[in-house]
Amino acid sequence: MIRINLIPTKAAQKKANVVQQLVVGGIVIAAAVFLSFSVNQSMQSKVDNQQQVINDLNARISQLQTIIKQVDNFKEKKRDLNRKIDTIKQLNDQRSGPVKLMEDFTYVVPRKAWISSYREVGKQLSLEGQALDGPTVSDFIDNLRSSKFFYGVQLIQVSQDATAGVKAVRFSINCRVNYTPAGGKAS
């Protein structure tokens, strides 16, 4: 005979298992959602903090850029003032330099020599003159070389000259002049 068990034991167990699995699955999903939300909030908090740090640094950079602009402006003004001061010094030297050079030149020329031509073009000086003898010309060249106003002294020509029965030595000298000897040799 066929027996039929009308007690729903397996179906009830299956149903209880499904409900239990649904409850466990719901708890796992809820835990995953909560964990994701917590991690998201933590990360968002870190991002917000870093963004605040970035904003603070950008504000500090802006402040420093204005200070840098002010410093650059001061440096430019200083350069401009230094150029003006240099120009004033140069003009002052050019005003008094030739007078000092000529005063020194009077001490450089020996007693037994005289200058017949003095030409200066662009700080290049050409001298022509006569002396009673060769050692006087040599002394003149040595005096020019030891002067702080003359440099690059070159003897171009020396020749004997007998004018009106007097023996003399003609000479030609090229050199450069320096109106500002305190500043060193000018070019």
Q: At what angle do helices 9-108 and 134-146 cross, to 10 degrees?
A: 150
- Of the ranges 38-47, 98-107, 141-150, 178-187, which one carries the lowest mean pLDDT score? 178-187
The 10s digit of each residue's pLDDT in 160-177 is 877 767 788 999 999 998
pLDDT at position 187 is 41
The 10s digit of each residue's pLDDT in 103-158 is 888 888 999 998 999 998 888 999 999 998 889 999 999 999 999 888 899 999 99
Third-level CATH fold of 109-183: Alpha-Beta Plaits (3.30.70)
Q: Is the pLDDT of residue 41 over 90?
A: yes
**Where do the domains of the chain lie?**
109-183
pLDDT at position 126 is 94
109/129 Cα distance (integer angstroms): 10
The 10s digit of each residue's pLDDT in 9-36 is 676 778 888 889 999 999 999 999 999 9
Give phi and psi for 186, each to the nearest 5: -90, 155
187/163 Cα distance (integer angstroms): 39
Q: Is the pLDDT of residue 7 over 70?
A: no
132/109 Cα distance (integer angstroms): 13
Tell me the DSSP string of 58-92. Answer: HHHHHHHHHHHHHHHHHHHHHHHHHHHHHHHHHHH
| 59 against 165, higher pLDDT | 59
Across the range 54-66, mean pLDDT stands at 94
Q: Is the pLDDT of residue 80 over 80?
A: yes
